[in-house]
Every structure is written in C-alpha cells, then in structure tokens.
C-alpha cells in the first residue's frame, strides 16, 4: 500500500491503463458526487465489503479513496492482506480532491 498526494494520485492514475478507481464511502457520501468511473463499495458493509473486494481482479492497480483518507487507508491495508499488490490511498480523500466529480449513475 502506498499513500499518494492528490497530485501523485492524479498523475499516476492518468498514466495507468491497468487502473481501477475504488470509492469506499457510504451511499450518502457518494450521493454528493463521485470521481468519474469509480467503482463504489461501502467500507462500512463489514464482511460484505470483504466479499465484494474479493471479487475484484488482483492484477489491476487500485486507486482507493474515501472522504478523508482514513477508511481508504484501512481498505488498502485489507486489500494488501488479501493479495492485492497495488493499492494506492488518496491522502486527504474527497475533502482535498480538486479533480473532476460527477453524479453517480
């Protein structure tokens, strides 16, 4: 797991054709806007969160974010324990995010 600043995260993501953006916020938080093309799995689902993460392709590179960077950091640690080699935490989360945000479909 690696913590990336907003700039590092955005730059690395833009140059990564094996990337998946993962939003681990609640439904209510996601309703306020989501980073384009992000996959949403609520961290607070507990075991269901683990089950959903387990379905993901471990060969992809995951760019994980939440509201502040705390839950996404925990999610990255869990993913690492589950065998994901590349999980990147967005420091500061959506509170500091200055990139694009869209309404969830």
d(CA 42, CA 30): 9
Spatial contact of 46 and 87, defined as CB atoms under 8 Å apart? no
- Catalytic annotation present for 76: no
d(CA 7, CA 30): 22
Q: Among 66, 75, 76, 94, which one carries the catalytic annotation? A: 66
List of residues 6+ apart from 27 with CB closer than 8 A:
42
Tokens 């993460």, located at residue: 53
Pairing of strands 19-23, 61-65: parallel
Catalytic residues, by residue number, are 66
């Amino acid at each position: 797991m690696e913590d990336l600043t907003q700039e590092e995260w955005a730059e690395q993501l833009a140059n990564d054709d094996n990337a998946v953006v993962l939003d681990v916020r609640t439904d209510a938080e996601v309703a306020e806007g989501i980073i384009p093309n992000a996959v949403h799995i609520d961290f607070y689902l507990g075991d269901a969160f683990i089950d959903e993460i387990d379905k993901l392709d471990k060969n992809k590179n995951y760019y994980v974010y939440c509201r502040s960077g705390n839950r996404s950091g925990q999610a990255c640690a869990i993913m690492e324990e589950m065998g994901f080699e590349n999980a990147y935490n967005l420091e500061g989360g959506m509170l500091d995010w200055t990139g694009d945000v869209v309404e969830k479909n």
